[in-house]
Amino acid sequence: MKNIILITLDRCLKRQKQSILLFDSIAAASDIALMLNGQWDGCNGVVIDQCDEVAVNTAAKLSEATWCYQGAAKAVLARLTTDELLRRYALGERNFINANLRYAVLTSMKLNQVNLSYAKLSWAVLNEADLSQADLTAADLSETNLSGADLRGAEIVRTNLTQANLQQANLRGANLTRANLSEVNLTHADLTGANLALADLRGAKFHFCNLSGANLTGAKFIETDLAFASQ
């Protein structure tokens, strides 16, 4: 019993020594993780043991980046312009993790298989856009216009879609596990075979929405709202 307690305490102390640092550049976070023997989270965060601020400041200066501790502040990535996004996409780049695209206008743009996980897309205009098989994991799409967008097979896990416009959107086979779809407009949307397990659908508009074969296990919704959907 004593050994178990000692092991538990040791693990807790190790966790407390770890620091999560946020940088204003994904590339810098990746490079600095290597410099400091830390763990890059695939975004703009780095987990390191026993943070040496002198070493972090030196690495950040070399990478021309700014940083902060997670929770103390938030290192916000520079806004990505639509022209730059489309230029890089046309050149074959697909990875735009944590991109800042708030208010971006991308009407009818072809962005299939793009990786916009953790991206900031609130109030963006993406109506009629091709986002089929896109990775939108944990992205912020609150109040975004996605009417008529093609989201077939997209990864929309833990994504914030609060008050988004998804009228006539094609979400066939999309993975919306744990997504926040509260007060979303899904009028005439196609969710055939979509995974909505544990999703928050409270206040969503389901008028003429196709939910055939959709997985609603553990989803939060108001029964009367679903009466307007086709199942």
What pLDDT score does 45 carry? 84
- Residue 85's alpha-carbon distances to 42, 115, 117, in angstroms, are 19, 12, 14
- Tokens standing for residue 177: 């596990």
Spatial distance between the Cα atoms of 57 and 37, rounded to a whole number of angstroms: 15
Contact indicator for 150, 132 with CB cutoff of 8 Å: yes
Residue whose C-alpha is closest to residue 103's, from 137, 142, 75? 142
Spatial distance between the Cα atoms of 49 and 70, rounded to a whole number of angstroms: 14
In sequence order, the 6+-apart residues with CB closer than 8 A to the CB of 226 are: 206, 211
Spatial distance between the Cα atoms of 56 and 32, rounded to a whole number of angstroms: 8
* Residue 68 pLDDT > 50: yes
CB < 8 Å & 24+ apart, contacts of 187-196: none
What pLDDT score does 189 carry? 98
Spatial distance between the Cα atoms of 43 and 70, rounded to a whole number of angstroms: 13
List beta partners, residue 135. 115, 155
What pLDDT score does 191 carry? 97
| Domain annotation for the chain: domains and CATH numbers | 2-69 (no CATH), 79-231 (2.160.20.80)
- Mean of pLDDT over the chain: 88
pTM, rounded to two decimals = 0.72
Q: Which residue has the tokens 């520079």?
A: 78
Residue 11 banded pLDDT, cuts 50, 70, 90? very low
Spatial distance between the Cα atoms of 42 and 2, rounded to a whole number of angstroms: 38
What pLDDT score does 2 carry? 45
What pLDDT score does 9 carry? 38
- Write out pLDDT tens, residues 142-169: 999 999 999 999 999 999 999 999 999 9
